[in-house]
Amino acid sequence: MPVNLLDIQKKLNDFSSQAQARRQKLARRQEEIINLIEGYADRLDELRDRVARAVEHYPQLRCAVPCGEALDAVIPMPDLPARFTVLAADGSQINPSRHARVEFCVINVGLVKMMRGSGMTPEVKTISQLLDYDALFLPAGGMITEGMVALKRDLQEREALLQISENLRPPAISMTDGPLELYHEPRESAEFTQTFEKYLDVLRDLSERGLMISGYVDKPGSDLIVRLLELVHMSDEDLASPGQYRRRFGGVRDISLMQGLLNSPGDRSALFAIFSQTAMRYGKELLPHFFYLNVGGAGKPHLARVEVPGWVARDPEAVGKLQAVLMEQAAMMGTRPYPYILHRAHEVAVVTLPEHEHVEGMIVAEFQRRGIPVDEQSYKQYHKDLPTGKTRYQG
């Protein structure tokens, strides 16, 4: 049934007023933080002390930690290397559903390898994994969750990178969509731990090959730097009772702080390390660091957040190459900058509905061939799937 637009219309005024008020509030906070950044730009040790102190009171603290570059540093993009290799991996999945005729799960990873300056056609590969039937069901009962599948997918994306990164010729850069950190519920299950360990192994292997891995976050919403600066004004009491503490700069995002700084295409911000309980598990070499990068064109800045492992972060030259390569990749998409190779990987990975149906059909056929009974589609699902539009064959 159609949405009752009249109901919506009535609320619009109020809604907009609220938004406006919030905007204004955040703008004030933003201004304050920017002043703080200016003030504390070089007082890095002080900030680091603050963090150390805060974590004693509040172990769950999660914020950015400056590495050595001033808070308001702006580092321009160096020249692009003449030849380099750039890799990207992206994954998509078919989540199991009890509404379908059969329960199955597919993780599909797309890989692209481009050797810039070689004049050769980039290599494109798809790796599709049908999860073990057994793996679909949890020991405690119930089916594997979407979150768990996503986790497996993240792991497989990096494992896939391993597959095409043999005999790499430096410099070699890889990117995946999203942060390097695995952020998935349930964090503390045994399953998660197992997966996480594997993930770290893979990252290590990739590093050993000299591959500069990175995670690319478009339209970043994190506020790690804001949280760092909040610590400046927090008293010990505040720190001790984080539940009651009303965040001073809540709602402001890091990106709004960086936007005023990174004006020229290719400019990057200072490098920050991610400080959190989970981040600690990565170890020094692999600890996720990040910086902001302006991938937009002249006069039209567009900021992305790039995560890199510790060993890359400590190598300014490496970071510079990464910066240049990312910039080039994003520029390829013209008016809407986004790394081309990452988009391609996504394109290769994506599972269309017909493909979904085709795979389901394959499984159903095999089951039927073997005499394994196949359920009906749930009626709920059936009716959901009915085509709403009408298409008649008219040549």
Query: Using CB under 8 A as the criterion, which residues of the chain lie in contact with another protein when the complex forms?
Result: 112, 114-116, 118-122, 124, 328, 331-336, 340, 343-344, 347, 354, 391-395
Query: Rounded distance, CA 320 to CA 274, Å?
Result: 20
Read off the amino acid at residue 126: T
Cis peptide before 316 (omega within 30 of 0): no
Residue 153 CA, distance from chain mean position = 13
Q: Residue 302 CB, nearest distance to another protein (Å)?
A: 14
Minimum CB distance to another protein smaller for 373 or for 395: 395
Minimum CB distance to another protein smaller for 84 or for 290: 84
Minimum CB distance to another protein smaller for 65 or for 115: 115
Minimum CB distance to another protein smaller for 136 or for 331: 331
Q: What are phi and psi of 10, to 5 degrees?
A: -60, -35
3-state percent breakdown (helix, strand, coil) of the chain, nearest 5 = 45, 20, 40
Read off the amino acid at residue 125: K
Is the Cα dihedral 274, 276, 278, 283 positive or negative?
Answer: positive
Nearest to residue 91, comparing CAs of 10, 161, 171? 161
Minimum CB distance to another protein smaller for 167 or for 352: 352
Instruction: Report residue 312 as tokens.
Output: 């890359």
Residue 111 vs residues 48, 174, 206, 262, 333: alpha-carbon distances, Å: 39, 10, 15, 31, 19
Q: Residue 336 CB, nearest distance to another protein (Å)?
A: 6
Minimum CB distance to another protein smaller for 124 or for 232: 124
Q: Residue 328 CB, nearest distance to another protein (Å)?
A: 8
Query: Rounded distance, CA 250 to CA 230, Å?
Result: 9
Read off the amino acid at residue 288: P
Q: Residue 394 CB, nearest distance to another protein (Å)?
A: 8
Q: Residue 352 CB, nearest distance to another protein (Å)?
A: 10
Q: Residue 101 CB, nearest distance to another protein (Å)?
A: 18
Q: Residue 335 CB, nearest distance to another protein (Å)?
A: 4
Nearest to residue 271, comparing CAs of 288, 250, 285? 288
Q: Residue 141 CB, nearest distance to another protein (Å)?
A: 38
Nearest to residue 143, comparing CAs of 151, 134, 152? 134
DSSP 298: T
Using alpha carbons only, give the angle 275, 276, 280 rounded to the nearest 5 degrees: 85
Residue 299: how many other CB atoms lie within 10 Å = 8
Q: Residue 354 CB, nearest distance to another protein (Å)?
A: 6
Q: Residue 340 CB, nearest distance to another protein (Å)?
A: 6
